[in-house]
Amino acid sequence: MTTDIKDPAAVERRLWDEIEKDQVGMLGVAGGAAHHLQPMTAFVEPAANRLWFFTRNDTDLVREIGPGHKAMFVFQQRDLRACIGGHLTVTQDRERMDRYWNAVVAAWYPEGKDDPSLTLLRLDCDDAQVWLSQVGPVRFAWEIAKANATGTTPDLGGRAEVRFT
């Protein structure tokens, strides 16, 4: 899929589409003590610039959420890589739990939607850095060979900044 890296609206649409399709990325809180991001499944709401995540209310991630701390969701697949920044909130939004509940989520919560430790995280997205590599294996090999032969860098795509409004 080709996306014009200079068209922020196209890059944003592609980002939402790819996250909705592949869902899994790494989520963490920025600021405070050093910590690692963790794998999470994202449920997208592009119109609201939001991502939703199921978790337990006793996790390290939930304990790290605090006022003034931004969160980062890192998403990567074959030719799109992104780091999305925003603010993370713990919520008990039952409507969202019902909407996004599925067999995969249920496997992590044997007590179902009534599990007392079940909670949701809502990421209100502020901005993102998106890298697109829009070349197949032949073009990739060509660009690497050309760069090594000419002492230049390969042209494999570009980076765009997305500001969610």
Report domain extents, the chain.
8-163
Q: What is the percent of the chain with per-residue pLDDT over 90, rounded to a whole number? A: 59
CATH fold of 8-163: Pnp Oxidase; Chain A (2.30.110)
Is the pLDDT at 3 greater than 70? The verdict is no
pLDDT at 47: 96
Give the mean pLDDT of the chain: 88
DSSP one-letter code for 47: G
Label the pairing between strands 38-41 and 43-45.
Answer: unpaired
Angle 10-13-16 (CA atoms, 0-180°, nearest 5)? 150
**Strand partners of residue 120:** 54, 91
Pairwise CA distance, residues 53 & 122, whole Å:
7
Look at the block and give the residue holding tokens 């909130």.
89
- Do 127 and 161 contact (CB within 8 A), yes or no? yes
pLDDT at 153: 74
pLDDT digits (tens, 9 = 90+) for 77-115: 888 999 999 999 999 999 999 999 999 999 999 899 999
